[in-house]
């Protein structure tokens, strides 16, 4: 068997989910902390959607999940790119 033929068996779901969600969660946490240390959510609201009644807590929460969505999307993309071709080819019989 040559190296090119080496196929890694699919990893457990928990491992895939963990490898995508956890590092992105961590990165989103750090990004949220740095971002909101500089930007007051209330100021941000007044600059963007002044008609909405958003509290600071709401601002932090939305901010965190936006960051997480972005970082998780990137992790997901990385996972897709690292999948061996066989995972895609197998489906087309």
SS3 32: helix
Phi, psi of 69 (to 5 degrees): -60, -45
Tell me whether residue 48 or residue 89 sits nearer to another protein (CB atom).
Answer: 89
Task: Give me the least distance between CB of 51 and another protein, in Å please.
Answer: 19
Task: Give me the least distance between CB of 73 and another protein, in Å please.
Answer: 18
CB-based contact 35:63 (threshold 8 Å):
yes
Site for another protein in 12-51 (CB under 8 A): 12-15, 18-19, 22-23, 26, 33-34, 37-38, 40
Contacts of 67 (CB under 8 A, 6+ apart): 27, 28, 31, 32, 35
Candidate list 4, 52, 57, 81; residue touching another protein; CB under 8 A: 57
């Amino acid at each position: 068997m040559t190296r090119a033929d080496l196929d890694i068996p699919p990893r457990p779901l928990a491992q895939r989910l963990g490898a995508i969600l956890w590092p992105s969660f961590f990165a989103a946490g750090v990004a949220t902390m740095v971002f909101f240390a500089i930007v007051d959510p209330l100021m941000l609201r007044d600059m963007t959607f002044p008609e909405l009644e958003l509290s600071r807590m709401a601002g932090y929460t939305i901010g965190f999940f936006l960051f997480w969505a972005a970082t998780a999307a990137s992790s997901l993309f990385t996972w897709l790119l690292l999948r061996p071709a066989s995972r895609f080819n197998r489906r087309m019989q």
